[in-house]
Amino acid sequence: MASLFEEETTFFADLILPVPIPSLFTYRVPREMSGMIKVGARVIVQFGQKRVITAVVANIHSNPPSKYQAKYILELLDEQPIVTTRQLELFNWVAEYYLCNIGEVLNIALPAGLKITSQSRIQLNPEFEHDDLLTDQERIVIDEIKRHQTLSYEEVERLLQRSNITAIIKSLVGKRAVILFEEVKERYKPKVVRKIRLNASYTSNDALSKLAASLDKTPKQQEILLKYLSYIPVYNNPDLNSKGLDKSIFSQDDNVSDASLNTLVKKGIFEQFEIFISRFDDIPASNAVITLTETQKEASQQIHALFAEKEVVLLHGITGSGKTEVYIELIKQVLESGSQVLFLLPEIALTTQIVVRLRKVFGDVMGIYHSKFSDNERVEVWKGILDGKFQFVVGVRSAVFLPFDNLGLIIVDEEHETSYKQHDPAPRYNARDVAVIMSYMHKGKTLLGSATPSLESYYHAQTGRYGFVEMKQRFGNAALPTFELIDTKKEKKSKKMKNEFSSVLIDHLKLNLQNKEQTILFQNRRGYSPYLQCEICNWIPECANCDVSLTYHMKAGELRCHYCGHKEEVTRTCPQCGSTQVKTMGYGTEKIEDEIHSMFPEARVQRMDLDTTRAKNAYQQIISEFEEGGIDILVGTQMVSKGLDFDNVSIVGIFDADRIIHFPEFRASERAFQMLTQVSGRAGRRAEKPGKVLIQTNNPGQRLLERIINNDYEGMYAAEIEEREKFHYPPFTRLIKVTVKHVDEATSSKAAKVLAEKLTANLGASRVLGPQPPLVERVRNQFLFDILIKLEREKINFKAAKSFIQEKVIDILTDKTLKSIQVVIDVDCL
Ligand code: ADP
Ligand code: ZN
Ligand code: ZN
């Protein structure tokens, strides 16, 4: 037995703080906490002078830190871990792979609702006596505190009607009149419903009739009882009583006074209680049976068989082949085996049809994790996974950070989508790639699906690293759409173009309207026109903060910068030469919408782009309206192409294909193939309504267009992969982009040069490109320089190369001659 005098062990905890600092921090575990604290639980600690933040326990041990005095943990928030050990393992991997801090990963992973915020408040110093020392303003504050016990800074501001109150508070602290403290608040609020029910002693029929009779003299109270019984027929079945009735039913009723109800509660006849409810509607699973087609069945079996030997399988299924049904089959199998399933979708696809379809099958074991959801809703998904309510989650990229502990399968739908990659802030991760790692960790499997796979995934499938399954039939014998390339050069010459519209496209639009069939028009540029220009002196309005022309938005009547959000009024006179001939140049979705209105005033037109879908349900509303036939022509950016499944679309029109194909970027062909194939895939999805795609181009003879219209992915792949190999681009190399930023161009350029030299010295000139300014050289007043590093997949020790790069970046960041330089490292940049 331990002697009474022997010291108990003191415990320390290494904590992950959700801030961008490179290491874990060690805090001291207070004795009363030591039996309870667990790895993965949240704690509250003081960080810096005043700040109080939420942290997560990563390790518990008994070694005090050598370099600093450990502070005490202030509070323990969770009895059970809220972050699983599998998650901690993943967070570490992400931090290491993407060269960022684990705190940054935690910060993205934890919904804000699980982070505690603190608010500074003041209270009276109990030892304060010298009232006479106070100024008038200070006295007002003190009087108010005496009334309310404590005040927040905002309350003091409101009280004094001024915004700068730090001086006053400092002075009050100096006079020892008040004490500052931090009040900690948990942001997550469960949704509560107030209910009432009969006291259990009145639920027998005998007791009930006695009770009713006893209320004869108080008819108002009697009425409440009768009303309650009309909703909850306790006399038929006493068990019904325990669930009670929403109190709101009474408060909405004018005939019921709160006072009478309260009296009944006071008398102990009724009792009030509260229940926590989910913010998600409990939609029961319907037993709708889907029978897989032969093609789907085969694909499903192949995937199953391949999983026996491969960790990852790529499903290449053309648009409309019914990949979702194949997914559903697999998900069912995995759920039945008792493992969890994660289904990743690109942001935009998530609010729509597919979720409804999955909900119908899986009901309320399915959680949905979306960035447009409130914090509270996200916390509910998080907790629902922890307590086993949600075995299956459909979510956007950040869903990879949810607290799974037993993932059997991760599906990444539309795996080629660039929105799986996070650009800003760190971690700059790609959820598809994280998914693959994550399923290794869980000993589960990953299924990647797409009609237009990324070159990387297809390459891995070709070389045998991934399993590979194809579906080349559309569901229900629907044919792929037919294509027509429209030569806009020719049309222009013969003056047949009407603004942006070729005569061929106009004819088809007309016919389609007559036939009451729907059209999708695709222009991958929002706004009215991408720039204005003076016809006399060629002046173009540009953003004051970025080196980019301002986009004209007609409805809003303003010019907007799509890089920094800067807005200004439209000028119709040129500030340079004074002429009034400032014209719109080029065109975006808004202009197309406008022109449709004037050509076909009777057509019902809707636009779908970033500008029309900012509100929470706007996107969903447009989709539903289109589905229900309330829109004839839908004009949009690539938003219209994302996994949508419509019955009645027979024409898809594509503007400006050349600009997409010739975008100055090494992935342009791949992207153009994906984008144009996906948007075309919205047409003719039902066998009885074949679809047609019209592509306007200046050069109908280009190879890539030929491959798109022949649905020749393999051809595109073969041509592209050769180029990639020749010029050392992914999938043969991994790319790391290092961006140097500074408000002063010379400083930025110098830092970038120095850094590039250091990198080249070790990595060799063939692996380091740049520095060079990106397409837009100045953004938000900072001058940018990019250095692109290409590292061969084989041959190079990626980890070592990355630490070398990180070292050199730190050199630059700590170089005193290059003050306040910023450097961003993007691993596997797109
Ligand atoms: P993809 O995602 O491959 O483009 P979808 O999964 O959206 O294709 O399927 C296309 C359409 O065909 C959807 O409307 C879907 O409901 C329908 N469908 C696919 N397979 C089946 C099936 N086995 N039974 C009934 N309907 C199906
Ligand atoms: Zn001018
Ligand atoms: Zn700008």
Which DSSP string corresponds to 135-159? -HHHHHHHHHHHHHSEEEHHHHHHH
pTM of the model: 0.82
Contacts with 718 (C-beta within 8 Å, 6 or more apart), sequence order: none
* pLDDT value at residue 1: 44
Indicate if 509 and 650 belong to the same structural domain.
yes
* pLDDT value at residue 118: 63
| Three state DSSP letters for 35-66 | CCCCCCCEEEEEECCCEEEEEEEEEEECCCCC
End-of-domain residue from the set 476, 507, 538:
476
Confidence of residue 288 (pLDDT cuts 50, 70, 90): low
Which whole number is the average pLDDT over 597-620?
91
Furthest CA-CA distance within the chain: 103
Is 82 part of a structural domain of the chain?
A: yes
Q: What is the CA angle 341-343-346, rounded to 5?
A: 165
Is 728 part of a structural domain of the chain?
A: no
Q: Is 293 in the pocket of ligand 1 (CB under 6 A)?
A: yes
d(CA 690, CA 683): 8
- CATH (domain of 175): 1.10.10
Lowest mean pLDDT among 21-30, 383-392, 620-629, 636-645: 636-645
Which whole number is the average pLDDT over 19-37?
89
Choose the residue to mutate in 289, 645, 649 for probing ligand 1, maximizing ligand atoms within 8 Å of C-beta.
645
* pLDDT value at residue 3: 47
Indicate if 142 and 240 belong to the same structural domain.
no
Q: From the CA of 561, how far away is ligand 3's center (Å)?
A: 5
Indicate if 541 and 512 belong to the same structural domain.
no
* Residue 186: pLDDT over 90: no
Output the average pLDDT for the chain: 89
DSSP 8: P
Q: From the CA of 826, how far away is ligand 3's center (Å)?
A: 22
The ligand with the least distance to the CA atom of 361 is 1
* pLDDT value at residue 184: 64
Confidence of residue 117 (pLDDT cuts 50, 70, 90): low
End-of-domain residue from the set 476, 495, 516:
476
Q: Is 470 in the pocket of ligand 1 (CB under 6 A)?
A: no
Residue ID of nearest Cα to ligand 1 atom 20:
322
Query: Letter for the amino acid at 261?
Result: L
* pLDDT value at residue 285: 61
Torsion of CA 654, 539, 570, 584, to 10 degrees: -30
Indicate if 389 and 426 belong to the same structural domain.
yes
- CATH (domain of 520): 3.40.50.300
Choose the residue to mutate in 289, 325, 414 for probing ligand 1, maximizing ligand atoms within 8 Å of C-beta.
325
Q: How far is CA 348 from CA 170, 410, 419, 448, in A?
A: 49, 19, 9, 18
Is 400 part of a structural domain of the chain?
A: yes
* pLDDT value at residue 10: 87
Indicate if 308 and 428 belong to the same structural domain.
yes
Which whole number is the average pLDDT over 262-269?
90
Report the SS3 class of residue 783.
strand
Sign, CA torsion 139/142/148/153? positive
Q: Is 321 in the pocket of ligand 1 (CB under 6 A)?
A: yes
Q: Calculate the CA 664 to chain-centre distance.
A: 28
Q: Which helix (H) or strand (E) holds 585?
A: strand 582-585
Indicate if 304 and 247 belong to the same structural domain.
no
Closest ligand 1 atom to residue 324 Cα is 6
Lowest mean pLDDT among 39-53, 424-438, 717-731: 39-53
Which whole number is the average pLDDT over 577-595?
93
Q: From the CA of 532, how far away is ligand 2's center (Å)?
A: 11
Give percent above pLDDT 90 in the chain: 59
Q: Is 292 in the pocket of ligand 1 (CB under 6 A)?
A: yes
**Any bridge partners for residue 194, and if so which?**
274
Q: From the CA of 581, how far away is ligand 2's center (Å)?
A: 7
d(CA 433, CA 427): 13
Q: From the CA of 299, how far away is ligand 1's center (Å)?
A: 14
Is 350 part of a structural domain of the chain?
A: yes
Count up the domains in the chain and report the number: 7
Closest ligand 1 atom to residue 647 Cα is 14
Indicate if 646 and 498 belong to the same structural domain.
yes
Any known ligand binding at 100? Answer: no
Question: Which range among 131-140, 171-180, 206-215 has the greatest average pLDDT?
Answer: 206-215
Indicate if 548 and 633 belong to the same structural domain.
no
Residue ID of nearest Cα to ligand 1 atom 17:
322
**Any bridge partners for residue 53, and if so which?**
45
Q: Is 317 in the pocket of ligand 1 (CB under 6 A)?
A: yes
Closest ligand 1 atom to residue 319 Cα is 4
Any known ligand binding at 829? Answer: no
Confidence of residue 393 (pLDDT cuts 50, 70, 90): very high
Is 374 part of a structural domain of the chain?
A: yes
Lowest mean pLDDT among 27-31, 190-194, 678-682: 190-194
Query: Letter for the amino acid at 186?
Result: E
Q: Which helix (H) or strand (E) holds 827?
A: strand 822-827
Q: From the CA of 545, how far away is ligand 3's center (Å)?
A: 5
Q: Which domain holds residue 31?
A: 2-117
Contacts with 688 (C-beta within 8 Å, 6 or more apart), sequence order: none
Choose the residue to mutate in 315, 324, 627 for probing ligand 1, maximizing ligand atoms within 8 Å of C-beta.
324
Sign, CA torsion 243/246/249/250? positive
d(CA 405, CA 387): 11
Q: Which helix (H) or strand (E) holds 808?
A: helix 798-813
End-of-domain residue from the set 722, 750, 766:
722
For 164, left (φ over 0), alpha (ψ -120 to 50), or beta? beta
Report the SS3 class of residue 490.
helix
For the beta sheet containing 178-186, the strands, ordered from the edge strand earlier in sequence to the opposite edge, are: 150-152, 116-124, 178-186
Q: From the CA of 523, how far away is ligand 1's center (Å)?
A: 26
Indicate if 504 and 617 belong to the same structural domain.
yes
d(CA 352, CA 10): 53
Q: Which residue has the higher pLDDT, 247 or 652?
A: 652
* pLDDT value at residue 166: 77
Question: Which range among 73-77, 534-538, 669-673 has the greatest average pLDDT?
Answer: 669-673
Residue ID of nearest Cα to ligand 1 atom 9:
322
d(CA 228, CA 244): 9
Q: Is 323 in the pocket of ligand 1 (CB under 6 A)?
A: yes
d(CA 28, CA 71): 6
Which whole number is the average pLDDT over 176-197?
75
Nearest Cα residue to 694 out of 656, 662, 726:
656
Contacts with 653 (C-beta within 8 Å, 6 or more apart), sequence order: 505, 508, 509, 519, 520, 521, 522, 693, 694, 696
Is 14 part of a structural domain of the chain?
A: yes
Residue ID of nearest Cα to ligand 1 atom 22:
292
Q: Is 319 in the pocket of ligand 1 (CB under 6 A)?
A: yes
Q: Is 475 in the pocket of ligand 1 (CB under 6 A)?
A: yes
- CATH (domain of 66): 3.40.1440.60
Lowest mean pLDDT among 120-134, 175-189, 475-489: 175-189
Q: From the CA of 567, how far away is ligand 1's center (Å)?
A: 43
Compute the radius of gyration of the chain from its Cα atoms: 32
Phi, psi of 560 (to 5 degrees): -130, 145
Is 279 part of a structural domain of the chain?
A: no
Nearest Cα residue to 548 out of 530, 525, 528, 535:
530
For the stretch 507-544, pLDDT in tens is: 999 999 999 999 999 999 999 888 899 999 989 999 88
For 563, left (φ over 0), alpha (ψ -120 to 50), or beta? alpha
Q: From the CA of 326, how far away is ligand 1's center (Å)?
A: 9
Q: Is 322 in the pocket of ligand 1 (CB under 6 A)?
A: yes
* Residue 367: pLDDT over 80: yes
Is 760 part of a structural domain of the chain?
A: yes
For residue 165 the two structure tokens come to 């109150």
Indicate if 665 and 617 belong to the same structural domain.
yes
* Residue 422: pLDDT over 90: yes
d(CA 705, CA 429): 32
Confidence of residue 283 (pLDDT cuts 50, 70, 90): low
Nearest Cα residue to 728 out of 766, 765, 784:
766
* pLDDT value at residue 824: 95
* pLDDT value at residue 703: 94
Q: Is 107 in the pocket of ligand 1 (CB under 6 A)?
A: no
Which whole number is the average pLDDT over 66-75?
90
Q: Which residue has the higher pLDDT, 555 or 436?
A: 436
Indicate if 316 and 425 belong to the same structural domain.
yes
* Residue 282: pLDDT over 60: no
* pLDDT value at residue 134: 87
Indicate if 598 and 511 belong to the same structural domain.
yes
Closest ligand 1 atom to residue 645 Cα is 7
Q: Strands, E, within 476-573: which ranges? A: 482-487, 518-522, 531-534, 551-553, 558-560, 567-569
Q: Is 668 in the pocket of ligand 1 (CB under 6 A)?
A: no
Q: From the CA of 540, how far away is ligand 2's center (Å)?
A: 8
